[in-house]
Structure 1
Amino acid sequence: MLGALGAAEAEPMTPLLAPLEAARLRAQLWHTPTGPTRLRLLLQLADDLVARHEELATPLDSAASYGRQALALSTRLADPAGRIRSWYVLGQLPEASSAADTTGRAALRHGLRLSQQLPSPALEAAGWFYLASSYPRTTAGLPRKLATYARAAALFAQAGRPLEHAYVLKTMADMHLLQGHSGQAEQELLRVLALYRAAGHRELHYTYDLLRGATRQVGNYQAALRYGLAAVESAQATHDTTSIAYLYASLAGIYKELNQPAQALAYYQRALRHAQLGQSAAGIAITSVAISRLLLSQHQPGQALRFLQTLAGNPHATNSAVYLSCLVDCYVALGRYAAAERTVSQLLTLAKQPATDDMARLNAHLAAGKFYLATVRYAEARPQLQQALELCQSAGYLLQAASLHQLLFRADSAQGRFPAAIAHFQQYKRLNDSVFNAARNQQLASLEIQYGTRQKEQNIALLTKQSLLQQTRLRQREQQRNALLVGAGLLLLLLGLGYNRYRLKQRSNRLLRAQQAEIAQRSQELARLLAEQRELLSEKEWMLREIHHRVKNNLQVIGSLLHTQADYSADPAIQAALEQSQYRVQAMALLHQHLYQADRVGRVPLPTYVQELAVHLLDAFDAAARVRLHLDLAPLALPVAVATPLGLALNELLINSMKHAFGPGQPGTLTLTGRLLAPSTYLLSVADDGQGLPPDFDPSHTHTLGLTLVTGLSRQLDGEFALLPNPAGRGTVAHLRFLVASPTAA
């Protein structure tokens, strides 16, 4: 789950030495006597070992020895630049950074002081860069890292070093991504691209990959996919195989989030093949776990577990939180809860170890929280999810924070912690809406159309160039023929004129065919524009339906919360008030359900809506078996502005009949009629044959909430409301007369 959240693949500031080149330099060092050349070789080899350790996690080997030798030799040769670089090497070593305030950063600051005394802006900039890299990538450490990186970037620009300047800006953009500042990171990365291109730098795939992460973080999958493809193309063009597996996996992650499992699996398999070719145990483990999670998302837990078990001999996988958390999810999906709980215990033990990083702890607590949720152990799930949320917020992972708020909402709701549950649900909606775009698949389709259009434009441009070249050659040939015909006799001149007439006729025919082709092309373009217009209208209608659907879902959540609160209340008056509110919310939810299910968006078919509302209330009052429902409603489709107050008013009238017309167990009939009195007036009546109105009942002096609501809603409809004895003899009839602008048959 967290594989797609990691920072983009890094690259060293200076290119790594090829293995053969490094071996050649080591052999040269062995035979080089004391002097400037030996100092240069020591520093070059030490820098490469440190960069390779940070990039590929390879052993440092002789880096510390090279650094100490370089420091002693540069001091003996009185080479200030060599001394500064030697201090920088020693300050970057892991044994120094473990006690950074006394050893590593002290060495870096000493080198900085020497560079300022020299002075050398480029060496000073490198020192600030290494010092910034020594600060932790945490919420507290990021501001200090960024401020120090900014000093390095300014000095590299002052020293006229565009490649190093661009590299530091790219590193700052990576930090801004961790803070969730995607827009700022994107602007910095576009500036980095401009600097690299101006300097002729070809390895742009690391920058493209960061742009993929920035645009994906704000839900712009169209741009993210474009940058991901550009990163792969750049890596292939420059024959950089060290990061190609990661770049393929990043593309697979985008397709997975776009719900394109076939494309995602294809790119994951490419990533796995490259990781196997490069014999990268960590890469094989991470990609295999990603494939297993993809299979889990496709509801194939057995296949996912079998694929995961192929990593049994890989210690980089079986001892990692990513592998164990995926194993927990597979066991839970298969119902093997005992095995899942044993794996959760391993995860929590791993999280407590001091050497475990924050990402592994986040995976461990998240997997434990999801397992406890799945096994209905909410009290144990909540602290695990809370710890995962704190780690996620500390690292700035907005996407995972939204998912954790949703899981905490489930845990708090199940435990009856409704204020906390609502707060988590609001945080989930805020983060989810700020990160994701609801039209993911539409963006993908748009991108494919753009790629197709670009390809067509390129083909048209190529054909145009070929046509111009052909016309140029034809004109040259005609000139040559005319020159030969001038030197010939009269007969040849006549033959040439006849041939020229023939060529003119052919040219006219070509022009005519070109005009016909242009007309056909414009016709196709017009047809395409009409199709796009229809697609936009269809998309608008879909969005309206989706809005009504979401409103209905939210109203149902509110109704469920009211029902739950009523169950927990011991006061009958409060229970009755909550039930009344629940009926009103259900009436509005039913209205929005009809809005997104109707053939015409924005119109509610009145007979169907009234029938479903009445049947729902009969079921709610347990009266469906004894109260017969009779409907006689003229077909009418109402707009939202009329249907909403009308539905609420009808809800109050039906509830009033259920509560007061019929006694406990008393049978009866509830009649709902509706007809058009005039082209723009509709009369809706609710009649019952129950107990009727009390003899001293006066509607004008009755201030119950239900009748007050009906009276107010009738005014909102520019209508009239009356409550009268049933002229049929028994019971009560309520008339609601209202205006309907442009009535439409249902």
Structure 2
Amino acid sequence: MLRVLSIACLVLFVCLQSPAQTPSSQLPGELRSLLQKSTSDAGRVPLLWKLGEHYLTRPDEHKQDLDSAFYFVQHALQLCETLQDMPARYYSIGLLGRIFFESGQQEQGKACFREVAAYYHGLGNSQEEMTWLRYLAIFLPEMDSNYPEKVRIHGEVLAISRQVKDTLRQEEALKEIADVYLRWGKLDTAELKLLELLRMQQAVRSRKLLYTYDLLAAVSTYQGNYNKALPYAMETIRQMQLVKDTAHAGIFYNRIGSIYGELGHHERSTYWHSRAFTTEKARHTHSRYVVCGHLVRSLIWQGKQQEALLLLRKAVKEDPPQSMVDKGAVARALGDCYKALHRYTLAERYYLEMMHWEEQMGKGNISYSQEVYYSIGKFYTDRRQYDKAGYYLRKLLTLPAGKNSAINRKRDTHLALFKVDSASGSYLSAIRHLQLYNLLRDSIFTETKSRQLAELQVRYETSRKEQDIQLLRNRSQLERSRLQQARLGRNLTLAGIIMLLAIVGLLYNRYRLKQRSHRQLQAQQEEIHRKNYSLEALVKEKDRLLEEKQWLLKEVHHRVKNNLQIVMSLLNTQSAHTENDAALLVIRENQHRVYAMSLIHQKLYQSENVALIDMPVYIRELVDYLRSSFDTRHIRFELRIAAVKLDVSQTVPLGLILNEAVTNAIKYAFPGERDGCITVTLRHAADGHLLLAIADNGIGLPADFDPGKSNSLGMSLMQGLSRQLGGSFQMRQDAGLAIAVQFMATSAIINEMIPYE
């Protein structure tokens, strides 16, 4: 069971902390096709990354997959160096580092991640530096020799996060350090770090408390303190429900089931393992068959071997296992079922299949190897096939140490080897294994029980002192109550007499006042009814007049808009009979001015509000009209308009200024159809003013141009309309021409910008 918890903890750690990107949903064939069609190096780099990540994250990856990943990422790195794209170059180096780690080249992997972190340190980018240092610590292989370095690296991240006062990063780094100590087997240190993290998270009311409580439950479980582990695990569920974060609910349920199993409550264990399997199966997680194996063994403990077998067969039929880990977990569970059913030939077959998948996976997962070696060794020990049992059990003891739960597994292994050596006549070896078994058993028992007894003693002393304090408080409260009751009785008697006299007087006075008030209220009520009738009539008349006025205003705006449209049609007809280019130009300019005014009246009669114009809509439509009136394929328009509504008196001159400025920019700013951009901005200025700015990045005005001496009609119009607005008119040349009109707004303004392009 303890190995089960270790695996579950590791699964949770990987799910929460892995920096690997989500593999691309595109197939490698599609990516290769896109790569061949891509004509730019900048476009090829992301495709090469995706191909590399695809082969790097394939389930049950083989050497050829890593070789393919290395090829694509190395190619991406070369392109980044050619493009001199430094962020992309160092991201490629980070991917190479991960590939080195996956292929067992630890030093090369460390060098890559250190190089990326140093690059961001040089840029002063603390966030990216911490990210890549964290990646380095996570990708270092899970080995005893690497745990000190993992702690040091996470310590670097913690120091940087404290320096930049990043609370979230501090929490993350503390959790990583505690998690490393947990996997290292240094449980007391892990518990101290987790309690420090817990206090920090409680102070800021973090939403990640559930993960800290889960790790505390894991630490207490590995310490053998299940009475403390269970409350932590239950608090994990409560926090999960509180913040509605059920992403890892199956792992949390599975931990509670394992704790109940260690406490001997197998029915409760089955309940929680069943919830865990249902959750993991629904989400199709990688750990669903590991959890299914826990549920199967829990049912076997209750003597429900046949039910466990049926459940496992149904799960495999509905969702066949794909990865080697899944297949190994299913084979082990089947072996456990058939062993419990006394069908030992089938049990041996599935245990051997389990060993086959373990050998295929290699030596990456020490905890899994310990479990499978012990399972098959225990099976052969029970079957009295001691030669086979001894082979697997001794192989278990040769595995690297590091996981804290290996203490329990080694204890059970030494007991099994005692039986094996006793049966084979190796009595000295048997005695040595028995001594080691007793030593480990006593160590675990003494440490666990002494801690639990100490906690029980503290609880007892605390409870007794609290009872004594409460008894003294109760006695003191009783004495005060007696004195208060005596004083209260005397005071109540006097107060009652006074109150009775006062009540009689008040009742009589109240009766007289009530009679007089009743007569006054009747008269006032009649007067109120008369006034209400008059007010209702006035309100109805007012509403009728307002509705009629609203309709008349809309009709006026409609007719004005139609008249302006007729003027535009007349100008259009005149232009058809005019061959003078200068006259045609003047007619078209006047058409644009008339349209700017016509659009205002159109918006007024189409809107529910006949007094105000919605400026973002009006300016966008006016600019679209001007854009379509000229050849503007080479010009890009950018609009940044605040959500402002203005009345007609300000909208008409503002629209004419905008028309003149945009028309001039289109006609003169970009000769020879050169590419350019016209930017229109309407934003808030200081003291309730608005600022309209029309800017282009064209050739600007001639060097000798003087706005004060210009006889241009458009320039005169813009200056005169600016004065009509009561505002200021400014022109400046800076990589083009910019015209700005600042004026006082007379309507309510909504503070937000509406970009448009």
The answer to whether residue 322 in structure 2 is matched with residue 303 in structure 1 is no
Please name the residue that 1:333 is paired with: 340
Aligned-pair CA distance for 1:382: 1.0
Distance in 2 (alpha carbons) for counterparts of 1:93 and 1:249: 31
Residue equivalent to 1:185: 190
Mean alpha-carbon deviation: is it higher for 195-204 or for 315-324?
315-324
Deviation readout 1:61-92 (Å, 9 max, x if unpaired): 999999998997899697x7x45873575256
Report what 2:293 is aligned to: 289
Query: Structure 2 vs 1, CA of residues 111 and 381 (structure 1 numbering), >3 Å: closer, same or farther?
Result: same
When structure 1 is superposed on structure 2, of 439-448 and 227-236 the one drifting more is 439-448
Cα pair distance change 1:88/1:232, threshold 3 Å: farther
Which residue of the partner structure matches residue 367 of structure 1? 375
Q: Does 1:429 align with 2:420?
A: no
Tell me which residue corresponds to 1:244. Answer: 249
Which amino acid in 1 is paired with 2:369? Answer: R
Return 5+ residue gaps in structure 2 as ranges: 24-33, 35-41, 468-487, 509-757
Is the CA contact (8 Å cut-off) linking 2:237 and 2:252 kept in structure 1?
A: yes
Distance 1:442 1:315, change over 3 A: farther
2:121 counterpart residue number: 116
My pick for the range that moved more, 142-151 or 210-219, is 142-151
Other-structure match for 2:4: 3
Q: How does 1:67-216 map to 2 (within 5 A)?
A: 82=87, 86=91, 89-91=94-96, 93-94=98-99, 97-98=102-103, 100-101=105-106, 104-216=109-221
Contact 2:5-2:218 within 8 A present in 1 as well? no
- How far 1:159 sits from its partner (Å)? 2.5
Shift of residue 258, structure 1, vs aligned partner: 0.4
Q: In structure 2, how many angstroms separate the alpha carbons of the residues matched to 1:77 and 1:345?
A: 54
Report the Cα distance in structure 1 between the residues aligned to 2:504 and 2:76, rounded to whole angstroms: 95
Residue 410 of structure 2 aligns with which residue? Answer: 401
Q: In the alignment, does 2:396 pair up with 1:381? A: no
* Paired residue secondary structure (1:264): helix
Matches within 5 A, 1:583-598: none
CA shift, 1:246, in A, is 0.7
Secondary structure in structure 2 of the residue aligned to 1:320: helix
The structure-2 alpha-carbon separation of the partners of 1:285 and 1:349, relative to structure 1 and needing over 3 Å to count, comes to: closer
Q: CA deviation at 1:247?
A: 0.1
Q: Secondary structure at the match of 1:137?
A: coil
Matches within 5 A, 1:515-594: none
Q: For residues 218 and 302 of structure 2, what CA distance do their matches in structure 1 show?
A: 24
State the Cα deviation string for residues 424-466 of structure 1 (Å, max 9, x = none): 223223333333446999999999999x99xx9xxxxxxxxxx
How many angstroms apart in 1 are the aligned matches of 2:75 and 2:243?
35
Distance 1:54 1:227 in 2: 36
Query: Quick one: structure 1 residues 172 and 382, their matched pair in 2 at CA, closer, same or farther if it must change by over 3 Å?
Result: same
CA contact (8 A) 1:289 1:322 kept: yes
Give the structure 1 partner of residue 237 of structure 2: 232
TM-score (norm 1): 0.50
Taking the aligned partners of 1:225 and 1:71, their CA distance within structure 2 comes to 54
Instruction: Rate the CA distance shift 1:433–1:153 in 2: closer, same or farther, 3 A.
Output: farther
In structure 1, distance between residues paired with 2:89 and 2:171: 23
Distance in 1 (CA, whole Å) between partners of 2:455 and 2:346 is 40
Determine if contact 2:120/2:129 at 8 Å carries over to the other structure. yes
Once residues 13 and 348 of structure 1 are traced to their aligned partners in structure 2, the CA distance between those partners, rounded to angstroms, is: 30
* Runs of at least 5 residues in structure 1 that lack an aligned partner in the other structure: 20-29, 31-37, 457-474, 496-746
Moved more, 364-373 or 416-425: 416-425
Q: Distance in 2 between matches of 1:392 and 1:403?
A: 17
Contact 1:100 1:106 in 2 (8 A): no
- Cα 1:67–1:253 change in 2 (3 A) is farther
Match in the other structure for 2:554: none
Give the C-alpha shift of residue 301 in structure 1.
2.8
- What amino acid does structure 2 have at the position aligned with 1:152? V
Change (3 A) 1:126 1:205: same
Taking the aligned partners of 1:388 and 1:308, their CA distance within structure 2 comes to 27
C-alpha separation in 2, matches of 1:275 and 1:153: 33
**1:262 correspondence with 2:259:** no
Q: Deviations over 1:30-87 (max 9, x none)?
A: 9xxxxxxx99xx89x99xx99x9799x9x99999999998997899697x7x458735
Superposed counterparts of 1:699-738, under 5 Å: none
Alpha-carbon contact 1:209-1:228 (below 8 Å) kept: yes
**Separation in 1 of the partners of 2:450 and 2:441?**
13
Number of aligned positions between the proteins: 444
Q: What is the letter of the counterpart of residue 360 of structure 2?
A: Q
Hey, what's the Cα distance between the residues in 1 that align with 2:122 and 2:411? 50
For the Cα contact (< 8 Å) 1:409–1:425, is it kept in 2? yes
Question: Is the Cα–Cα contact under 8 Å of residues 162 and 199 in structure 1 kept in the other structure?
Answer: no
Take 2:89 and 2:413, find their aligned partners in 1: how far apart are those partners? 47
Closer, same or farther: CA 446–328 of 1 in aligned 2, 3 Å: farther
Residue number in structure 1 paired with 2:504: 491
Indicate conservation of the 8 Å contact 1:135/1:141, yes or no.
yes
Per-residue Cα deviation, 1:289-319 (whole angstroms, up to 9, x for no partner): 1111012222333333333322333214885
Query: Do structure 1's residue 271 and structure 2's residue 279 form an aligned pair?
Result: no
Larger radius of gyration: 2
Native 8 Å contact 2:73 2:92 kept in 1: no
Shift of 1:350: 2.4
Aligned to 2:352: 345
Q: Hey, what does 1:415 align to over in structure 2?
A: 424
Residues 526-574 of structure 1: per-residue CA shift (max 9 Å, x gap): xxxxxxxxxxxxxxxxxxxxxxxxxxxxxxxxxxxxxxxxxxxxxxxxx
Q: TM-score scaled to structure 2, two decimals?
A: 0.50
CA separation in 2, counterparts of 1:68 and 1:241? 41
Change (3 A) 1:432 1:91: farther
Cα distance 1:230–1:64, how it changes in 2: closer, same or farther (>3 A)?
farther
Assess, with a 3 A threshold, how the Cα gap between structure 1 residues 494 and 444 changes in structure 2: closer, same or farther. Answer: farther
Amino acid at match of 1:363: E
Indicate how the Cα distance of structure 1 residues 155 and 74 shifts in structure 2: closer, same or farther if over 3 A, else same. farther
For 1:694-722, what per-residue CA distance to the aligned partner results, in whole angstroms no more than 9, with x for missing partners?
xxxxxxxxxxxxxxxxxxxxxxxxxxxxx
- Give the superposition deviation at 1:338: 1.7
Per-residue deviation, residues 556-597 of structure 1 (Å, max 9, x unmatched): xxxxxxxxxxxxxxxxxxxxxxxxxxxxxxxxxxxxxxxxxx
Q: In 2, are the aligned partners of 1:245 and 1:274 still within 8 Å (CA)?
A: yes
Shift of 1:413: 2.0
- State the secondary structure of the residue aligned to 1:315: coil
How far is the alpha carbon of 1:183 from its aligned partner? 0.8
Cα distance, 1:356 vs structure 2:
6.1
Deviates more, 1:244-253 or 1:172-181: 172-181
Matches within 5 A, 1:651-690: none
**Would the aligned equivalents of 1:90 and 1:104 in 2 still touch at CA under 8 Å?**
no
Q: Contact 1:108–1:131 (CA<8 Å) still a contact in 2?
A: yes
Aligned AA for 2:385? R
> Cα distance 1:96–1:286, how it changes in 2: closer, same or farther (>3 A)?
closer
Q: What's the secondary structure of 1:140's corresponding residue?
A: helix
Distance of aligned partners of 1:65 and 1:204 in 2 relative to their CA distance in 1, 3 Å threshold: farther
Contact residue 91 and residue 97 of structure 1 kept, 8 A: no
In 1, the alpha carbon distance for the partners of 2:103 and 2:385 equals 40
